Structure 1
């Protein structure tokens, strides 16, 4: 009995087990690390979309007409996304400019929603299939004492 236990504890069969454990564990750790990086890149892209929506809402709120506000919001969102290095496969900017029609002296807001479809190959690894649609909405207050066109 004693010789069998001593072989189990320190026998010649234990020499290759570290290599086998490493061969199993290292790929799992690398996959987990890649998933963490991918999640971080997606979260960062979400923050970039948020910033673009805020820029677009602020820009829209300083214009007097809905048409000018729409043009300004689209331009501001595009410039913000370009400045931050986020490439959209498709981009859409929707604006609710009903606050521009409120009479002077009343508080009003302009709301802008920016939608951007990003190819995962741009965010994760080159060649990664698929796309992710990111959306953010921001609201900006219209100056209540500024002249408005009706």
Structure 2
């Protein structure tokens, strides 16, 4: 039928690159998708960390301007929650720990208020295989209490 022998036709089919683009895409595409998801997870953690830092700073500053430890505690919790909400951070769980020891030092001495904000950031919606479902981020900030401001009891 054909002038070309059977083995020559078979050899030509084995050496052709027909369909090789699809095989290359099948090999490379999952790796690219995983890299993109990993980059998104890293970006989410970095931006969330910066926003949690800002929330801790806001809470520490708010606590340092109050005269009593109870008022400082309430103000720091409210400031941290408002800051996280304003910045669009939705934490799976949040805790705010305040050290108001600087409010009890005598007038004329420098005291500090330290606030630690802990937020659990959800990563499960990224569909990254092997990634944890959530990551807990913690930030601590300290604010100086005005040494000449009256202190409460």
TM-score, normalization by structure 1: 0.84
Q: Which residue of 2 aligns with 1:3?
A: none
Q: Which residue of 1 aligns with 2:33?
A: 30
Which one of the candidate residues 89, 92, 96 is aligned to 2:95? 92
Where does structure 2 lack aligned partners over 5 or more consecutive residues?
1-10
1:95-135 Cα offsets, whole Å, 9 max, x none, are: 1100001111111110000111233246x35xx97222221
Q: How many residues align?
A: 140
Distance in 2 between the 1:39 and 1:50 partners? 17
Q: How does 1:72-91 map to 2 (within 5 A)?
A: 72-91=75-94
1:22 & 1:121 partners in 2: Cα distance? 26
Deviating beyond 3 angstroms after TM superposition, the runs of 4 or more aligned structure 1 residues are none
CA apart distance, 1:63: 0.4
Q: Tell me if 1:65 matches 2:65.
A: no
Give how far 1:59 is off. 0.1
Higher-Rg member (1/2): 2
Unaligned runs of 5+ in 1: 1-6
Shift of 1:29: 1.0
Moved more, 74-83 or 34-43: 34-43
Root mean square deviation, CA, Å? 2.2
Q: What is the rounded CA distance, in whole Å, between the counterparts of 2:32 and 2:90 in structure 1?
A: 30
User: Normalising to structure 2: TM-score of the pair?
Assistant: 0.82
Q: Does 1:15 align with 2:18?
A: yes
> How far has the Cα of 1:18 moved from its partner?
2.5
Alignment of 1:93-112 (within 5 A): 93-112=96-115
